[in-house]
Amino acid sequence: MKVTKVCCQGCGADLQIDESIRYVTCNYCHVQLEVVHDASVTHTRQLDKIERTSDQLASNLKVIALQNDLERLDREWDHLRGSLLSRDKNGNVSEPSLTAAIIGGSLFAGSGLFCIAAGAVQGSGALAFFGLIPILISIYLYIFETSKASDYQDLQQRYTSYRRKLTKRINDERVG
Ligand SMILES: [Zn+2]
């Protein structure tokens, strides 16, 4: 058995070790050491430091994976959102809005009812009949536009909460 003297990387103590042994524990500070034989010197390397570095690496990889998830989520939401936005004839885009659908629906319903009432007062069947058109539009707005708007709100909420969770996990991983 060839004994050699190395310095503990944990506490600096001189350690007498058997050269054939690769892993030792320092009796002074109880740190685990790897004995490294280079061409000219034998030295020690602290093992939990190596583990810490690989933990750090794993954590970095996790952050990268999470960031990729986040980017994909944003892309998918952008795509989905684009398909749900309403576009007017001037090319202006707007989110489907519950308030707008209800106000629009009420305005059409009001003018329809006004036409029907006016037609009844004047004894004009044609005027009363024309009143049906805004009524039909208001029914359409109430049923389809409001459900579109609430679907949109639903999706947006799910996207936002999932995004918040991902962002939190990325921050936790960075701190930890
Ligand atoms: Zn030591």
> How many angstroms does the Cα of residue 116 sit away from the middle of ligand 1?
96
> How many angstroms does the Cα of residue 60 sit away from the middle of ligand 1?
30
Residue 37 near residue 22 (C-beta atoms within 8 A): no
> How many angstroms does the Cα of residue 138 sit away from the middle of ligand 1?
82
For residue 99, count CB atoms less than 10 angstroms from its CB and return exposed for 0-12, middle for 13-18, buried for 19 or more: exposed
- Domain assignments of the chain as residue spans, ordered by start: 3-51, 85-175
Q: Tens of pLDDT along 64-77?
A: 999 999 999 999 99
Residue for token pair 């103590």: 13
Q: Tens of pLDDT along 17-31?
A: 888 888 888 999 888
> How many angstroms does the Cα of residue 56 sit away from the middle of ligand 1?
24
Q: Predicted confidence band at 50 (pLDDT cuts at 50, 70, 90)? A: confident
Record the pTM. 0.58
Q: Which among 69, 70, 58 is positioned nearest to 173, based on CA atoms?
A: 58
> How many angstroms does the Cα of residue 24 sit away from the middle of ligand 1?
10
With residue 125 as reference, give the H or E element that holds it.
helix 125-130
> At the topology level of CATH, where does 3-51 sit?
Rubrerythrin, domain 2 (2.20.28)
> How many angstroms does the Cα of residue 14 sit away from the middle of ligand 1?
8
> How many angstroms does the Cα of residue 31 sit away from the middle of ligand 1?
6
> How many angstroms does the Cα of residue 38 sit away from the middle of ligand 1?
20
